[in-house]
Amino acid sequence: MLDLLRKRLPDREDALGRIQGAFAAGEIPPKDFVSLVFRGRSEEILGAAKRLGVDEGLLTFIAVYLARPFRAQAALELTREVDLGKWHRGHCPVCGNWPALAHIQSVEGRRTLWCLLCGTHWPYGRLQCPYCLNEDQEALNLISAEAEPSFRAHTCARCGKYIKEVMSALSAEAFSFDVFYLGTRALDLLAASAGFAPHPLLAAASVDP
Ligand SMILES: [Zn+2]
Ligand SMILES: [Zn+2]
């Protein structure tokens, strides 16, 4: 996985090399590292990032990916008999984390949210903020680079957050969320320059039943 990331994220070569070295030397035991994700221990991942002198977001991302096969398998089992079309919340119906990417089917205009942590995706209102459920169109906006209008950040002025969104002719079922997610880093920079904050990867929603 680290080899693949080094290919896809050449500007992170140095940090990825340091992380790979720490795994190889047993400085970070991979099994313990994965368990930090299952226990939602983002502060311990932050500590490891500081020790290695690497970006916290990058190390969290790697941790999330290492845990993904286990979570994805569990998510498949849990949703086998469930109609996710009945779920109208912005957070993942399986693991409770917030979506990392939205997909818009360019012909039908249907919007689907995707959870990076367990791979579940579910339909969601096209013009609604997944974080605060805001539907006030005055407060919702799209930011994109002129050269790539189908990659955009859907921002919400009410809660100050954004979700990255990709418009594609493919259906959500055929769409490679992982591949596109890795190619959306420029959108984070655009959204940050407009004053919007990303949602942390390891922050599950807390909903009072
Ligand atoms: Zn999930
Ligand atoms: Zn919002």
Q: Of 123-127, 131-135, 179-183, 200-204, which gets the smallest average pLDDT?
A: 200-204
Average of pLDDT values for 101-105? Answer: 96
Task: For residue 147, report the distance from its CA to the centre of ligand 1, in Å.
Answer: 31
Task: For residue 77, report the distance from its CA to the centre of ligand 2, in Å.
Answer: 31
State the helix-helix crossing angle for 13-24 and 42-52, rounded to 10 degrees. 100
pLDDT at residue 206, rounded to an integer:
61
Around ion ligand 2, residues with a beta carbon closer than 5 Å are 129, 131-132, 134, 156, 158-159
pLDDT at residue 207, rounded to an integer:
55
CATH number of 84-193: 3.90.1670.10
Q: Which residues face 101 on adjacent strands?
A: 114
Ligand number with the minimum distance to the CA of 131: 2
Task: For residue 195, report the distance from its CA to the centre of ligand 2, in Å.
Answer: 14
From CA 201, how far away is CA 60, in angstroms rounded? 7
Task: For residue 167, report the distance from its CA to the centre of ligand 1, in Å.
Answer: 21
DSSP string, 60-114: HHHHHHHHHHHHHHHHHHHHTT--GGG--SSS-TTT-BPPSEEEEETTT--EEEE
Ligand number with the minimum distance to the CA of 72: 1
Q: Strand 140-144 relative to strand 151-156: parallel, antiparallel, unpaired?
A: antiparallel
Ligand number with the minimum distance to the CA of 162: 2
From CA 30, how far away is CA 172, in angstroms rounded? 32
DSSP element (H, E) containing 14: helix 13-24
Give the pLDDT band of residue 141 (cuts 50, 70, 90). very high
pLDDT: which is higher, 111 or 206: 111
Domain locations along the chain = 2-67, 84-193
The rounded percent of the chain whose pLDDT value lies above 70 is 97
Ligand number with the minimum distance to the CA of 199: 2
Nearest to 163 by CA among 145, 138, 137, 181: 181
pLDDT: which is higher, 199 or 166: 166
Around ion ligand 1, residues with a beta carbon closer than 5 Å are 92, 94-95, 115, 117-118, 120
Average of pLDDT values for 94-110? Answer: 94
Ligand number with the minimum distance to the CA of 76: 1
